[in-house]
């Protein structure tokens, strides 16, 4: 896949796929979809501080948005490490 650079707003009617890299500034308008995992299938949080994932069972069995602190996946509501139970 090639790389395209835009100098103004970009609008998609069917969403975007792939990774967003570079200097990303401004507002995101519309839906933002993050990847879904379970506690058991979550990727290593090492070296990806700031990444977001949806963990379907990460809040003691309930779904939660989690972020990487560079070491662990942390629950967005309490800051505790994700856990299935």
Asked, for residue 56, whether it belongs to a domain, the answer is yes
Helical spans, DSSP H, in the chain: none
pTM, 2 dp: 0.68
The C-alpha atoms of residue 61 and residue 70 are separated, in whole angstroms, by 23
Asked, for residue 47, whether it belongs to a domain, the answer is yes
The per-residue pLDDT for 22 is 63
Strands, DSSP E only, in 2-85?
A: 36-37, 52-59, 62-68, 73-75
The C-alpha atoms of residue 52 and residue 65 are separated, in whole angstroms, by 7
Asked, for residue 8, whether it belongs to a domain, the answer is no
Domain count for the chain: 1
What Å distances lie between residue 1 and 4, 17, 18, 19, CA to CA?
A: 10, 11, 10, 12
Q: Is 55 helix (H, G, I), strand (E, B) or coil?
A: strand
Mean of pLDDT values over 44-71: 96
Whether the per-residue pLDDT at 60 is higher than 80: the answer is yes
């Amino acid at each position: 896949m090639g790389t395209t650079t835009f100098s103004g707003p970009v609008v998609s009617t069917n969403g975007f796929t792939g990774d967003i890299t570079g200097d990303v500034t401004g507002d995101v308008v519309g839906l933002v979809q993050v990847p879904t995992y379970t506690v058991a299938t979550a990727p290593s949080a090492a070296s990806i501080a700031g990444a977001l994932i949806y963990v379907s069972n990460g809040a003691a069995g309930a779904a939660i948005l989690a972020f990487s602190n560079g070491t662990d996946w942390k629950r967005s509501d309490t800051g505790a490490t994700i856990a299935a139970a």
